[in-house]
Chain A
Amino acid sequence: MNFLENIFNALATIVANKLRSGLTMLGIIIGVSSVIVMIAIGEGAQRGVTSRIEEMGTNLLIVTPGNSSQTNVRGSAGGGSNTDALTNDDVAVLEALDGIAAVSPEKSGRKQAIYGSNNVNTTITGVYPTYESVRNFHIEYGQFITKENNNEFARVAVLGQDVVADLFDDANPIGKDIRIENNIFTVVGVMEEKEGQGFNSGGNVIFIPFTTAQMRVHGSRSVDSIYLSVTDADKMDNMTDEVQFALLTAHQISDPTIADFSVLNQADTLETLNEVTAIFTLLLGGIAGISLLVGGIGVMNIMLVSVTERTHEIGIRKAIGAKEHDILWQFLTESTLLSLAGGLIGIFVSFAVVAILTNKTALEASVTMDSILLAFLFAATVGIFFGAYPAYKAGKLNPIEALRFE
């Protein structure tokens, strides 16, 4: 009996017992599709996180006031969590560093902006012209805050899309005057649309010159945060150290553990988040893998029943010359085919589930070739592994006892 015939005969048996075969496959179908879907959700989450972070700007270093490593220790040398720790002088120091492409300080606060009878409570952020390139957030039309605007403490504003919607009902706001605190600002540009990050919608913001923000709106000479883009992406770690050292020197602090600022490396953040989502994916996949294992036990169960049910047939086959391995292959082929068919159907089901998930929910799931291969191979292994014992048992049956079995 050759290989193809074995498969043909096994298929005939599977088709002859439709309900039982279907129920057996169901276990594998659920197992395989849940493994693929769970991994797809994990992968989707990972991609989402990565793209959000990359959207924020690559090669990014972020300097913030306060010491992230010892928030509970009362500050020294200017105060550990002193939000005034960063100054315009620090910005100048960082601008002078080699290997830094651009420096973008920010000064933010929530204020009310008014146009006519409309008003909106939004984030007013003072920025340098470098903001566009460093934060990878660009102008849609009009123009961005310029160097001259900063030099002149100009009262000009660039609006995010949400603000345009709230204040101007989506009409073109260029040239219009809006009021923030007691200052009149002329709108010069509108930002492109951007997906929100966390709780902040990317469009709910008004950009004004950094100097204006410090002097006229937020009334403080301090800097909220400094974003730096590094020239060479391979030198992120190096530049993190250099920025740290330059600022420690400027602040006259010798012990890095009591620094009154922190330097955050975007690449590190990305790496950490990727590690977290990878563990998350593994966890989801692992849980789904258990259901595949249970499905495999279902296959074994059914194959054992099948061997018992067909003991008489096995006896007949042995009487007319079937050898142990003939019988063994007959049953092993059957269980493997059942599992493979279940695996294939499971793959189709998982595509359908992922399509529904991405359309109907906020989840971003993407099926990966790896997960398909993994789940399918696992299903095949399950079929062979859990089919092996029943098949072996069938092959070893004593011919006369099998023949007498009714």
Chain B
Amino acid sequence: MISLHNITKTYQLGVQQLTVLKGVSLEIKAGEFVAIMGQSGSGKSTLMNIIGMLDVPTNGQYIFDRQNVEHLTSNAQAEIRGRKIGFVFQSYNLLPRMSAVKQVAVPLSYQGVSHAVRLQRAAVALRAVGLDDRMQNRPNELSGGQQQRVSIARAMVTDPAIILADEPTGALDSKTGKEIMEIFTELNKQGKTIILITHEQEIADYARRIIQISDGNIVSSGHHL
């Protein structure tokens, strides 16, 4: 499903060049539950952004679902992000001033789904993450854990093949973190590919495969258990 060949990413900081990824090659198959582990600054977030087509690699080849991403227009990439990938961020990244149910319906609006169907599917997704009674609340009226559930519902609502989660429990206490991880485990059982970025071993242990990244290189690509 996802295939990276010798991916590098270099940032130009003034006259200085900073190479964050130094030739990463990686295969992730459909249905896997992968944790990408590394210290901060190891390049794991950059790797996730490239996988999610939010960022482009400096060099190397990225094949997503048999398509060479390099040859896709920005609109085609947006289409893939919308339909096949769901994002969950450490800081939730919810839209302000928007109720949970409308929030979750936004991705569907970019796919031409009618208003009524959108709200219906958003409600289903929110129920799946246990927020039946928080549909009309805005982000600032929700706890951190509830906000992260909203963002998971938003990632799931389009029924994507892959969910990319960047430190999804980073801002939560350990009990809420566990609840969130159980949702991911459940989603994986339903057949979704989950790619999880974390620096915590405890969180990584929920995954069935752990990839270690350090200083821009993959040091251990693990095996699917």
Number of B interface residues at 8 Å Cβ cutoff, please give it. Answer: 27
Judge whether B74 and A321 touch: CB under 8 Å.
no
Top 3 nearest A-B pairs (CB, nearest first) are A321-B82, A400-B54, A320-B107
Judge whether A316 and B78 touch: CB under 8 Å.
no
For B53, what are the chain A residues with a Cβ–Cβ distance below 8 Å? Answer: 399
For B87, what are the chain A residues with a Cβ–Cβ distance below 8 Å? Answer: 319-320
Closest A residue to B115 by beta carbon equals A5
Q: Is B52 an interface residue (CB 8 A)?
A: yes
Question: Closest approach, in angstroms, between the C-beta of A394 and any C-beta of chain B?
Answer: 14
Question: Closest approach, in angstroms, between the C-beta of A360 and any C-beta of chain B?
Answer: 45
Contact string against B for A residues 363-406, beta-carbon threshold 8 Å, 1 for contact and 0 otherwise = 00000000000000000000000000000000000111001000
CB neighbors of B among A311-328 (8 A): 312-313, 315-326
Bound together, the chains give a CA A316 to CA B89 distance in angstroms of: 10
Q: Is B141 an interface residue (CB 8 A)?
A: no
Question: Closest approach, in angstroms, between the C-beta of B51 and any C-beta of chain A?
Answer: 12
CB neighbors of A among B136-161 (8 A): 154, 158
Taking a contact as CB atoms closer than 8 A, the residue among A16, A313, A315, A321 that contacts B78 in the complex is A321
Q: Is A92 an interface residue (CB 8 A)?
A: no
* Interface residue tally on A, bucketed by range: 20 to 34
Question: Closest approach, in angstroms, between the C-beta of A308 and any C-beta of chain B?
Answer: 16
For A19, what are the chain B residues with a Cβ–Cβ distance below 8 Å? Answer: none
CB neighbors of A among B99-119 (8 A): 106-107, 109-112, 115
CB neighbors of A among B118-139 (8 A): none
On B, residues with C-beta under 8 Å from A are 49, 52-55, 74-75, 78-79, 81-83, 87, 93-97, 106-107, 109-112, 115, 154, 158
For B74, what are the chain A residues with a Cβ–Cβ distance below 8 Å? Answer: 323-324
- Please report whether the interface of chain A is mostly helix, strand, loop or mixed according to DSSP: helix
Q: Pick 30 A–B contacts, CB within 8 A, sort by A.
A: A1-B109, A1-B110, A5-B109, A5-B115, A16-B97, A312-B93, A313-B95, A316-B95, A319-B81, A319-B87, A320-B81, A320-B82, A320-B107, A321-B82, A321-B83, A321-B107, A321-B158, A322-B110, A323-B78, A323-B79, A324-B75, A324-B78, A325-B75, A398-B55, A399-B54, A399-B55, A400-B54, A400-B55, A403-B54, A403-B93
Bound together, the chains give a CA A158 to CA B164 distance in angstroms of: 101
For B115, what are the chain A residues with a Cβ–Cβ distance below 8 Å? Answer: 5
Bound together, the chains give a CA A403 to CA B92 distance in angstroms of: 11
Judge whether A320 and B54 touch: CB under 8 Å.
no
For B82, what are the chain A residues with a Cβ–Cβ distance below 8 Å? Answer: 320-322
Bound together, the chains give a CA A86 to CA B107 distance in angstroms of: 91
Bound together, the chains give a CA A1 to CA B54 distance in angstroms of: 22
Bound together, the chains give a CA A315 to CA B87 distance in angstroms of: 12
